[in-house]
Structure 1
Amino acid sequence: MIAQLRICVPEELSAAVLDCCTGELGVAEVSRQPGGSILPPGDIIQVLLARESVERLVEKLQALNVQAQGSVSVTMPELVLSDRADKAAADAPGEGADAVIWDEVSRQTGEDSRLTWSYLAFLILATQLAAIGIVTDSTIAIVGAMAVGPEFGPLAALAVSLVRRQWQLGRRAALALGIGFPVAMLAAALTAWLSVPLGLFPSDVLDRGSAVEFIYHPGPYSLIVAVLAGTAGMLSVISRRSAALIGVFISVTTVPAAGFVAVALVLGEYQKAADSALQLGLNLIGIVASAAAVLVFYRLVTKRLPRGAALRLRRKAMRSQG
């Protein structure tokens, strides 16, 4: 798997950046366009390299403080026809699919964890679908609600914030969850409250026994499924395999549990509401804990730039600028 870096850098820092790029294992091509940037003024350096080498090179560029004086952007070309690129990918340690670009993970989860109108809309719609599936005993509607729910983004962001100590990201994700779920549950409760006098479903609908009883019966497997789903979800984020996220969405009982809490409270089934709330809590905790464990594992097995090497790069850059 090949990546492409575009680096905008001041002219006085260009030589140090070129040294980092040309000396990195897994680099196939390096090109420089002197004066290619007008705002800010400086050079444009482009690097074609194996994806598994991106994180280490980005760490070196950050040690040079390139991001403060210019920019670093990373893209993944769909197709690269190059023998040099193939050789670079073969020489680089590890596999591209297993490589973690930490800033990419933080940025992706950060964007998915914002409390936006679209996030609220999807969560409200998903909870409404879950409530309809509960009162109509429709597992299809329940599965649809699971697929529509956008809650994995903030949960993944919480895991990233815990591992990378990015507390601002964690606060933003907690805000999205802490506001999103109560608002969605309130909307579902209001809909259920209006539906009972209209005769859309009887008030004893939860006492009849149904295919959705698993929602208010939390147990060990609830936590096990959440842990497995959180692991698969974070792996899909790291490896950029978004198709696997669909399986994550439809395997956890977060949105259905939220919908059941809303319906049960309206119908006076307080014990079932409490059990469903416990189900929701188990799923949220299991997903965050397992996703964080995956990130911790990758941090342990991924070689990072030693602090001494970063200091040497900074001194070298200062000498070149001086």
Structure 2
Amino acid sequence: MHSNRRINVDPAKIHCYIRELDRSLLRLAKSSTSIKSLTFIDSELKRVEQCIVRAARESGNLVASRFGGILEISSKGSKTGKDLVTDVDRASQNLIANIMSETCPGHVLLGEEDPPDKKQEASDWMWIVDPIDGTTNYVNSSNIYAISIAALYKGETVAAAIWIPWPNDDGFELMHARKGHGTWIGDSKLHVHPENETGVPATGILSSFPRWMPKAFNINKQLMENQGEIRNGGSACYEQFMVAKGSMQYAITGVASTWDFAAGILLINEAGGKVMRLNSDGLFENFNGWAENYKPDPQTYERLRKWRGLILSGPPRTVDFVAANLSLKQPRLFTRIKMLFNN
């Protein structure tokens, strides 16, 4: 026999449940919209990455075809033989600019070989280009040089490629990344050099910092005795390529310009590394680009063009160890270095 039971339901509770259900459905709807938005953004990033890879490959072919040949060489500065530029630098940048205009209309290019008096508004999308980083090496038939292209969205690097000559069947390696998808050469996903728990650089593994570093910084004993095998290649982009590939355990690079770092910072971050910049207080701090106070105006373009920095990059614990064991020597030297930083 079944007994009939009366269930008392509080109307206020039912109203509460319905209201919570409505909220849950609204959150789900917003989440779906967000997912669609993210999918659209990533598809656009993938397209931009493909355009950059194409530009780097075609520019690399051009530059490699002129390597060791007759070049038109001049100096950008007043001192002959310093800050060299060739007709190939300019041809490389023009080729990249044409590909950008063809494939990504509305994007704006900032390149090393722009005229110094160029007036231009920044845009949400910008390509930061070094058409040949290591021109002095290139002029002297040294194959340590690189072509670097980065796409910035509102000041943050979101896609990047660096091309370097390499002794393989292709004659080059082309490294690329887009935000959130790792760093790649062909089908190989890259990772920065393995680090130990302490972050102490390993003996027998390549490292890099400028020759003037010991004059400008106190280098603590721990780092002095564990620097790794120091090499200076003469190309900031090439060295960052080697850090992202895991061939170099860390690098201190600069003082150099936006186009020397815009691609490298994403390639290293996406390969599991860390990037720091010497700030205006003389301390290394995390660095991810130029998004702070970014506006699509002439002032932002000029700020990016004039920006200079000293960058430390590598595996996270190694970078932290190196940064903790460096300090500037003299206040007056600090003042001189500080003048190089304008943000």
TM-score by length of 2: 0.21
Higher helix share: 1
Structure possessing the higher relative contact order (Cα contacts under 8 Å, 6 or more residues apart): 1
Instruction: Say which structure is richer in strand.
Output: 2
